[in-house]
Amino acid sequence: MSSPFERLNISDFLIKALEKQNFKKPTEIQERVIPGAINGHDIIGQSQTGSGKTLAFLLPVIHRVDPSKDEIQAIITAPTRELARQIYQEYEKLAQYFPEDQYVRAKTVVGGTDRKRMVDKLKNVPHVLIGTPGRIKDMVINEGINVYTATALVVDEADQMLDMGFIEDVDQVAARMAANLQMLVFSATIPEKLQPFLRKYMENPRYVHVNPEQVTAQDIKHVLIPTKHQDKTKLLIKVAKAYNPYLAIIFVNTKKTADEVADAMLAEGMNVERLHGDVPPRERKNIMKRVQNAEFQYLVATDLAARGIDIKGISHIINYELPRDLDFYIHRTGRTGRAGMSGIAATLFEPSDQLAIQKLKSCNIHFVLEELRGGEWVEIKTRTRKNASNREKGIVLPKPKKVKPGYKKKLLEEKKKLAKKRKGFK
C-alpha cells in the first residue's frame, strides 16, 4: 500500500519510522519543506512548535547524510538545552528503525555537561551534531572538532536565538563549515534584525510560512474568562482547580508573576512547579523530566522558558494574562490539542484586553466566553456587542458605594428640610 509519506521523497526506512509512530500523513510544514530541502535548497520555515517542524528538518537532514563517511555532515542548533535534547529524542524515535548499513549517528552537544566527556564522546564522530550554539562553538574553536565537512546547518527557533544573543555563535560555527552550506532556518517570527544573518548564508532561500490559524485549527477550545475585577490569582486558582487538568501550563509574562502565582498555588496545596529564566538550567532539566513523567498537575511558566518545549499530554493552557506579543498566544496555545488530542486554552481577561482579543479573533481564533458559577462552567451567551450587557463585554462597573443604614432616609429628610427652607425664602 502506498504511504502519504512517499511524496516527500525520503528514504524507505524513514517512511517506515514515521508509520511506526502512527503518523498518518505529513503535516503542512513537512509537506512544503522536505522536498525542497532534500534537493539542497536553503529554506526559511516560519511555523510554530506543534506544526511538526522538527521532523520537517530532521528528515531531509538524515536523508542527505552519507553514513559511509565518518564525518560530521550536518549541524542542528537550538537555543536551549531542552530543545536540543527534544530534537535528539525525535531523532532517537526514528533511529530505532535505521538499517545497520544506513545507520545515521547523531549526538548532542549542550552546555552544562562535562566538557572532557563531551570531547571523548565526539571521538566516535557523529554524522549529525545537535546542540546549543555556545557549546558547539566551544567544541569547534577550542577543541578542534572538525566541521569543515558539514554541508547542512539547521537553525531552530532563530528569533529566540537572536533574542538570547546566540546568532553570533551560530555565525562563528557556520563560518567554519563547508563553503557550499545548505541552511534551514526555522522561526516563529522573522524579525528584521535576523535579515543580515540570513542574507549572509542563504542563497535565494525558499520561504515557507504555515499560517498560525492552520496551527490553531487543531482541536483546541479557546475560552475567555472575564476577571470582573476579582483578585486574579484567586480566580486563577479557582479556574485551575475547576479544570482539574491532566497537565496545565499557566502562562505569565514575567518571572516575578510566575513566582507569585506558583507560590499562591503552593499555598493552596496544589501540585505545581515553575519554569522561568531564573530557574538554574540543571533544575530546569529536572523539572522538565518530572513534568514529562506527569509528576505535576500544573506548571507556571514564562514564554521564553517554555518556548519550543514539547511536553506531551498538556490538556490545558491557562493564560494568566495575555502575552505582550500576540504571536505568543499562538505559541502558548499550540502546546495543547496536539497529535489529535483535544485541549483547552483558557485566558483570564480584563476590559483592557478587548483590542488584543479582537486582533486574535481576526486571526480566525474562535473564542467562547465562560465563567464559573458555583463550581460549574457556564457559557456566557454572546449577543451582538451592541446589545451585550457590560458583563458579557467583560466590563465591570464600579459597585455603588456602601452606605450606612438609614443614610438614604436621612438624605431624604435633609432634602425636605432644604426644600421647606427654600419655600420660606420665597
Instruction: Return the number of the residue (137 or 332) whose C-beta is nearest ligand AMP.
Output: 332
Give least dist CB 343 to ligand AMP, A. Answer: 13
Give least dist CB 118 to ligand AMP, A. Answer: 25
Instruction: Return the number of the residue (227 or 336) whose C-beta is nearest ligand AMP.
Output: 336
As a dihedral over the C-alpha atoms of residue 3, residue 11, residue 96, residue 312, rounded to 10 degrees, the angle is -60
Give least dist CB 87 to ligand AMP, A. Answer: 8
Instruction: Return the number of the residue (94 or 153) whose C-beta is nearest ligand AMP.
Output: 94
Which residue has the closest beta carbon to ligand AMP?
54
Give least dist CB 3 to ligand AMP, A. Answer: 11
Instruction: Return the number of the residue (97 or 367) whose C-beta is nearest ligand AMP.
Output: 97
Give least dist CB 382 to ligand AMP, A. Answer: 32
Give least dist CB 65 to ligand AMP, A. Answer: 19
Cα–Cα distance, 416 to 150 (Å, whole number): 94
Instruction: Return the number of the residue (226 or 334) whose C-beta is nearest ligand AMP.
Output: 334
Instruction: Return the number of the residue (239 or 317) whose C-beta is nearest ligand AMP.
Output: 317
Instruction: Return the number of the residue (239 or 301) whose C-beta is nearest ligand AMP.
Output: 301
Give least dist CB 56 to ligand AMP, A. Answer: 7
Instruction: Return the number of the residue (25 or 69) whose C-beta is nearest ligand AMP.
Output: 25
- Here the cell at position 400 is 455603588
Instruction: Return the number of the residue (188 or 239) whose C-beta is nearest ligand AMP.
Output: 188
Give least dist CB 159 to ligand AMP, A. Answer: 15
The residue ranges that bind ligand AMP (CB under 6 A) are 23, 26-27, 30, 49-55, 310, 338-339
Instruction: Return the number of the residue (334 or 394) whose C-beta is nearest ligand AMP.
Output: 334
Give least dist CB 106 to ligand AMP, A. Answer: 16
Give least dist CB 269 to ligand AMP, A. Answer: 32
CB environment 238-254: b (16+ within 10 A), e (fewer): bbbbebebebbbbbbbe
3-state secondary structure the chain: CCCHHHHHCCCHHHHHHHHHCCCCCCCHHHHHHHHHHHCCCCEEEECCCCCCHHHHHHHHHHHHCCCCCCCCCEEEECCCHHHHHHHHHHHHHHHCCCCHHHCCCEEEECCCCCHHHHHHHCCCCCCEEEECHHHHHHHHHHCCCCCCCCCEEEECCHHHHHHCCCHHHHHHHHCCCCCCCEEEEEECCCCHHHHHHHHHHCCCCEEEECCHHHHHCCCEEEEEEECCCCCHHHHHHHHHHHHCCCCEEEEECCHHHHHHHHHHHHHCCCCEEEECCCCCHHHHHHHHHHHHCCCCCEEEEEHHHHCCCCCCCCCEEEECCCCCCCHHHHHHHCCCCCCCCCEEEEEEECHHHHHHHHHHHHCCCCEEEEEEECCEEEECCCCCCCCCCCCCCCCCCCCCCCCCCCHHHHHHHHHHHHHHHHHHHC
Cell numbers 497529535: residue: 339
